[in-house]
């Protein structure tokens, strides 16, 4: 049975919520494999609006959710999210959520470091979500992370915290921020242990069984390729690999198990936080895209920066992310614009590029080379077939396919789940 992985192909916030929900309804298991509660999306199911950050979307559809080892897990954020969805009538427990026993935990010290460091960076701040994602990943690779399974071994926790605090308190002191007491952290973790341990298991084993039983798995990416710690606009990136290849390492499955890889992109471009954004618009069109697209961050509420579709960037995301099909969203936001621009390359210090170079200075200097297309006067909103789209809108989509070198698999034409044009069934393999 084919599996599907879905990843963002721009800088995040591509409208994954609706599409992931649509895909989740066709899957048996939904797996998060990277990121943490820096992610956020909104699912509208019936008369309920769920704002999910850590929970795999499938739980809303009665599917099994799995949080893989590639995630960094803030236990308090998870328990708060579980309590919040409970007030909406959704019961989350070990029956519908399993968490990798080897997932690293975000402790209160991590957001403290994240925020203190951002403050110290001043003008060159990354614009992180301040949730401790970066510092938690740093602890993982530095081999000092507290992992979920450690909560079952209180006698070694104390020793691990000594090592962790030696590092972090030194840093916090240097940054002029408040330090942490071991006893407070230890008590906190011991109190969390009985609430979290029932969710813990070797999820790789469950996923292996699922594979043998022919179950359909959806790997739900968070953030996007241009925020990937290796392939993104470094250092203005998140701290995990957001490409689909990381679904294998971040959940403990074979790379062959990832299946169809979908990349999701808006019909224009947005970004939150700092960093290069060659097609950013500072004029009325940029404002219009922001207003029509309701471009405010789900997690932080920050207004998103808006600009034209950057085909050069998405093509790069398609290549490094292994994307086989594109999910294009928010086409309706462009309805009625007399003229549209698509970026096909960059001019950097007089030289032409068909990719965004890795060096931050070159990225910052990149000016877009545009191709201009006529807009359309009709509406694309709510279209459920190609026949319902204005001819010029189809031309725009076809041109995007050519430029990014990937076919459009799904086209989303409104926030409603059924307002989607399905070109091919991603689970068909």
Q: What does the binding site for ligand IMP look like in residue numbers (CB under 6 A)?
A: 12-13, 38-40, 126-129, 131, 133-134, 222-223, 227, 236, 238-239, 272-273
Distances (CA, A) of 121 to 214, 302, 359, 372: 49, 19, 19, 39
Residue in the shown chain whose Cβ atom is closest to ligand IMP: 273
Alpha carbon distance 273, 126 (integer Å): 7
Nearer residue to ligand IMP within complex by CB, 51 or 395: 51
Q: How far is the CB of 70 from ligand IMP (least distance, A)?
A: 14
Alpha carbon distance 101, 261 (integer Å): 26
Residues in the chain: 429
Q: How far is the CB of 346 from ligand IMP (least distance, A)?
A: 21
Strand partners, 342: 309, 371
Alpha carbon distance 116, 114 (integer Å): 6
Q: How far is the CB of 287 from ligand IMP (least distance, A)?
A: 20
**SS3 (DSSP) at 194:** helix
Nearer residue to ligand IMP within complex by CB, 129 or 380: 129
Helix or strand (DSSP H, E) at 20: helix 16-24
CA angle 273-415-237, nearest 5°? 20
Q: How far is the CB of 157 from ligand IMP (least distance, A)?
A: 26
Q: How far is the CB of 202 from ligand IMP (least distance, A)?
A: 27
Q: Which residue has the tokens 């954020």?
A: 77
Alpha carbon distance 365, 175 (integer Å): 32
Given a contact cutoff of 8 angstroms between Cβ atoms, the answer to whether 377 and 390 are in contact is: yes
Q: How far is the CB of 114 from ligand IMP (least distance, A)?
A: 7
Compute the 3-state secondary structure of the chain and give helix, strand, coil in percent, each to the nearest 5.
Answer: 40, 20, 40
Nearer residue to ligand IMP within complex by CB, 69 or 380: 69
Beta strands (DSSP E) in 349-407 are 351-353, 367-374
Strands 48-52 and 41-45: antiparallel
Given a contact cutoff of 8 angstroms between Cβ atoms, the answer to whether 226 and 317 are in contact is: yes
Nearer residue to ligand IMP within complex by CB, 223 or 246: 223
Q: How far is the CB of 170 from ligand IMP (least distance, A)?
A: 21
Active site residues: 13, 41
Nearer residue to ligand IMP within complex by CB, 69 or 238: 238
Nearer residue to ligand IMP within complex by CB, 12 or 252: 12
Q: Taking each helix axis as running N to C, give the angle between helix 109-121 and helix 133-141, from 0 to 180 degrees, rounded to the nearest 10.
A: 110
Nearer residue to ligand IMP within complex by CB, 52 or 161: 52
Q: Which residue has the tokens 């979500």?
A: 129
């Amino acid at each position: 049975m084919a599996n599907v992985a879905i990843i963002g192909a721009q800088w995040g916030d591509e409208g994954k919520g609706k599409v992931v929900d649509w895909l989740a309804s066709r899957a048996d298991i939904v797996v998060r494999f990277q990121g943490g509660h820096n992610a956020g999306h909104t699912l509208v199911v019936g008369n309920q609006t769920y704002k999910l950050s850590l929970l795999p979307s499938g739980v809303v559809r009665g599917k099994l959710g799995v949080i893989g080892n590639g995630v960094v897990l803030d236990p308090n954020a998870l328990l708060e999210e579980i309590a919040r969805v409970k007030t909406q009538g959704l019961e989350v427990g070990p029956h519908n959520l399993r968490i990798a026993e080897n997932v690293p935990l975000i402790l209160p010290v991590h957001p403290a470091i994240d925020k203190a460091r951002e403050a110290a960076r001043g003008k060159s701040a990354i614009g992180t979500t301040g949730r401790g994602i970066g510092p938690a990943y740093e602890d993982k690779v530095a081999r000092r992370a507290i992992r979920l399974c450690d909560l079952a071994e209180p006698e070694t926790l104390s020793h691990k915290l000594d090592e962790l605090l030696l590092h972090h308190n030194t840093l916090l002191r240097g940054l002029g921020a408040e330090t942490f007491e071991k006893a407070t952290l230890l008590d906190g973790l011991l109190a969390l242990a009985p609430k979290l341990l029932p969710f813990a298991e070797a999820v790789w084993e469950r996923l292996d069984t699922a594979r043998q039983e022919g179950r359909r798995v959806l790997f739900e990416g968070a953030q996007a390729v241009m925020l990937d710690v290796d392939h993104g606009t470094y250092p203005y990136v998140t701290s995990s690999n957001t490409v689909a290849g990381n679904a294998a390492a971040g959940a403990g499955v074979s790379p062959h198990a990832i299946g169809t890889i979908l990349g999701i992109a808006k019909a224009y471009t947005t970004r939150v936080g700092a960093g290069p954004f060659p097609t950013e618009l500072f004029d009325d069109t940029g404002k219009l895209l922001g207003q029509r697209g309701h471009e405010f961050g789900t997690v932080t509420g920050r207004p998103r920066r808006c600009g034209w579709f950057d085909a050069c960037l998405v093509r790069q995301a398609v290549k490094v992310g292994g994307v086989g099909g594109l999910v294009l969203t928010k086409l309706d936001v462009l309805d009625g614009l007399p003229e549209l621009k698509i970026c096909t390359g960059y001019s950097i210090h007089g030289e032409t590029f068909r990719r965004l170079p890795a060096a931050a200075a070159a990225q910052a200097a990149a000016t877009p080379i545009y191709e201009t297309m006529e807009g359309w006067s009709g509406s694309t909103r709510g279209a459920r077939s190609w026949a319902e789209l204005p001819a010029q809108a189809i031309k725009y989509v076809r041109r995007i396919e050519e430029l990014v070198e990937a076919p459009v698999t799904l086209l989303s034409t409104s926030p409603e789940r059924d307002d989607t044009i399905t070109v091919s069934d991603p689970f068909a393999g």
